[in-house]
Structure 1
Amino acid sequence: MDLQALKIFKAVANEGGIARAANVLNCVQSNVSTRLRQLESRLGIQLFHRRNGRLVITSEGLQLLDYAERILKLADEAQSVVRGGGEPAGKLRIGATEVTVTAHLPRLLASFHRRFPKVEMTIETGSIEQVMKAILADRLDIALLPSRVMTGELAEEEAFDDELLLITDSNHPAVLSTADLKDCSFLAFRQDGFHRARFENWLAGVKPKITLEFSALEVIIACVAAGMGVSLIPRSLIESRNLASLIKCHTLPADIASDPVRIAWRKEIVRHRARDEFIRCLKGH
C-alpha cells in the first residue's frame, strides 16, 4: 500500500476536508482528490461520504485509519532505525495521571527539552483507565502510571519510586492509628482513583467522612491547610514546592507509602528514539 496515499487519507480524515488537508500537506487540492479517489478505487470501498461539500468518514474508513496510523508510525520507526544515530526529533506523546504530571514531570520535561529540543512533546492527562485506553489506541507513545498495566499488548517497567505522605493542617495531632482519621474528609485529585483506593485500603474499613474531589494541587493544599480534611501527596512534590511550612506531614506504613511510577509502551513499537531517550531520563530521575 502506498505510504503517501495513506498520509493523504489520514490528513483528510483528521482535517475533515480536501482543502484543509491540502493546506496541511502543502500540496494542491487536485492532487489530494486524485490520490484519495485512486486509493478508494484500489481498495474497492468508499472511505468518505460526500455530504453538502463535507467529507464524513465511513465505517470502513475508520478501520483503515487505525491501520494507516500504525503503518505510518512503523514506517517512521523503520526509517529512524535504518538511519541510526542523530538527535531524536519528531513527536513524543506522553500520558500520565494528574498526580504524576504535577509531582514528577515539570523538571523531567524541562531537562529532556534542554537535551533534545527537536522533540515536540504533548501531554495528555486522565485517570489510569483513560491513559491506558489512549496508549492501547495508539494515541500515546508512552504512559506513566502508578500501577501495573496487566495487558499483553504493552511492555512496562518501573521507572522510579516515590514516597506518599499523609498531609493534614499544621495543628492536627500526630496520627498514631487509622482510628485517628475516622472523622476526617479525604481530599483527592478528581481522576486519582489509585491514591484514594490506597487511603481507603489503609483505613481498613474506617471510611473517611466524605471524599472531596479537586482538579488542582494548590486547591487541595489550601483546603488541607485550612483544616478541611487530609490527603496523600508524594514527598517529592511537597519538597519541590516547599509546602512543609503550610501543612503537617505524617509518614505512612511502608506498604502504603510506596508510590512507584511505572512506564508503559506498545510492544510492537520496538524502537522509538524520542521515547527511548525519555525512558532513560525517567530512570535517572
Structure 2
Amino acid sequence: MFNEWDGRSIRTFQAVMEERSFSRAADRLGYVQSTVTTHIAQLEKASGKRLFDRLPRGVEPTEAGLALARFAEQFAVLSQALEDELKRSEQPNGVLRVRALESYCVARLPRLLAEYAERFEAVEMQLSTGFMQDICERVLDGRDELGIVPRDPMHDGLIFTPLLQEEMVWVSAPHERGERHRKSAYISYGNQCYYHGVGEQLLREAGHPALAQMQLRYPSIELIKRMVQAGYGVSLLPLVNVMDELHTGQLVQLTLPVPEPIEHGMIQLRGRQLRPAAAAFAALLRRGLVD
C-alpha cells in the first residue's frame, strides 16, 4: 500500500481535510481542482477505502479518512524533520583539513582564515603545511580535503583550480650585493620544496654551480629570511614574503635570473563532492580574500 503513496498526495489529503473542500484545497495548493481529485483518488485506490464523503457543500472525512489523517500528520512531522536535518547538513560544520606550502600560509591565508572562522563558527579548521608531493598524496588518500600547491600536478585523480600567479625574487643580505653571492650558500626549504628545485636549476644555468651545491635548508620562511639577513647566503622566495624586508633594506634583491611567475592553485579529489565546509573555503580562495 505505502509504495503507491507519495508526498504530494498526502499533502493534498491534509489540505482537503483542513479546507473540507476540493476547490479550496486546490486554491491553497495552487493546483487545478482535477489534480486534487486525482491525488485523493490515488490514495483511495491504494488504501481500498473511501476517504471522503462528497456533500453538496464540500466534503467530510469518512472513518478511514480520519484514521489516515492521524498518520498523515505524523508523515508531515517526519517530512519537516527530514527537511530541517538536510538543511542543517548543508551548512558548513565539522572538521576541515587543508594543507598548503608554509610560505603561502604565512603570506596569503591570515585574512582568509579570519574571515572563514568568523562566518563559519561550526567548522574546526585544521591547517597544516607541507610540500608539493605530500600535499597531493594527502588529498588523494583523503587525509586532507583540499590542498594548495605551486603548480598543476597534472594528475588524473586531482582537480587543479588556479588561484594566483606568484612572482619570485632572489634575495640576500645588503652586504651580499655584487659578486659576494658567488661565495654564499643557497638557502631554501630543501629538496622537497618546488621552489628549491627551480632555484637550483636557475643557479646552474646562470653559471653558479658552486652556489647551487653549497646548500643550507631550513623548515620555515621566517628562518630562511633570518639566515639570509645574517649573510649566510641567498634564497629564491615569493616576493610577497619579502616585500617588507626589501622595503626596509633588511634584504636586497639580486639580479640573478628568476622563473616565470609560479601558478599556485587549489587541488581536490576528482569525483568527490566537496562537503559544505570545504566548498565554502574553496569559494573564499577563488574570490581572492588574501592579504
Q: TM-score, with normalisation over the residues of structure 1?
A: 0.62
Change (3 A) 1:195 1:119: same
Q: Which residue of 1 aligns with 2:281?
A: 278
- Number of the residue aligned with 1:171: 175
Quick one: structure 1 residues 197 and 190, their matched pair in 2 at CA, closer, same or farther if it must change by over 3 Å? closer
4+ residue segments displaced more than 3 Å: 79-87, 180-183, 250-254
Compared with structure 1, are the counterparts of its residues 131 and 105 closer, same or farther at alpha carbon in structure 2 (3 Å cutoff)? same
Picking from 269, 272, 278, the partner of 2:272 is 269
Cross-structure match for 2:161: 157
Question: 8 Å contact 1:160–1:282 — kept in the other structure?
Answer: no
- One-letter amino acid of the structure 2 residue matched with residue 153 of structure 1: G
Could you say what secondary structure the match of 2:165 adopts?
strand
Letter paired with 1:119: V
1:199 matched to 2:203? no
Distance 2:161 2:90 in 1: 26
1:47-66 counterparts in 2 under 5 A? none
1:130-149 equivalent positions in 2, closer than 5 A? 130-149=134-153
Deviation at 1:181, TM superposition (A): 4.8
Distance 1:247 1:113, change over 3 A: same
Cα displacement string for residues 9-60 of structure 1 (whole angstroms, at most 9, x for unaligned residues)? xxxxxxxxxxxxxxxxxxxxxxxxxxxxxxxxxxxxxxxxxxxxxxxxxxxx
The CA deviation at 1:278 is 1.3
Alignment of 1:21-40 (within 5 A): none
Larger radius of gyration: 2
Aligned to 1:148, the other structure's residue is in SS state coil
Q: Indicate which of 226, 229, 232 corresponds to 2:233.
A: 229
Shift of 1:111: 2.2
Unaligned runs of 5+ in 1: 1-78
Within 1, Cα distance between the matches of 2:84 and 2:140? 22
SS of corresponding position for 2:153: coil
Q: CA deviation at 1:118?
A: 1.9
**Do 2:101 and 2:131's aligned partners in 1 also have CA atoms closer than 8 Å?**
yes
Amino acid at match of 2:157: E
- Render the CA deviation track for 1:55-98: whole Å, top value 9, x for unaligned: xxxxxxxxxxxxxxxxxxxxxxxx99963896422221101122
Deviations 1:127-175 (A, max 9, x none): 2111111111100100000121221111111111121111110123258
Is 1:260 paired with 2:263? yes
Alpha-carbon distance change, 228 to 253 in structure 1, aligned in 2, over 3 angstroms: closer
- Give the alignment of 1:105-116 within 5 angstroms: 105-116=109-120
Match of 1:238 among 225, 239, 242: 242
Kindly indicate whether the alpha-carbon contact (under 8 Å) linking 2:146 and 2:267 is maintained by their aligned counterparts in 1. yes
Alpha-carbon offset, residue 282 of structure 1: 1.3
Deviation at 1:224, TM superposition (A): 0.7
Alignment match, 2:186: 186
User: How far is 1:243 from its partner?
Assistant: 2.0
Counterpart check, 1:88 vs 2:92: yes
Deviation at 1:190, TM superposition (A): 4.2
1:97–1:192 CA contact under 8 A, matched in 2: no
Q: In structure 1, how many angstroms separate the alpha carbons of the residues matched to 2:171 and 2:192?
A: 16
1:202 to 1:190, Cα distance in 2 relative to 1, 3 A = closer
Which of residues 209, 216, 222 is equivalent to 1:212?
216
Aligned-residue offset at 1:103: 2.7
Aligned-residue identity in percent:
23
Counterpart Cα distance in 2 of 1:156 and 1:262? 6
- Structure 2: tracts of 5 or more residues without a match: 1-82
Aligned in 2, Cα 1:113/1:280: closer, same or farther, shift over 3 Å?
same
Structure 2 Cα separation of the partners of residues 273 and 251 of structure 1: 46
Change (3 A) 1:228 1:157: same
1:226-259 CA distance string (max 9 Å, x none)? 11101112122223xx2222111246656x0512
User: Given the superposition, is the C-alpha separation of residues 276 and 169 from structure 1 closer, same or farther in structure 2, using an over 3 Å criterion?
Assistant: same
Change (3 A) 1:193 1:92: same
Query: 1:213 Cα deviation (Å)?
Result: 0.7
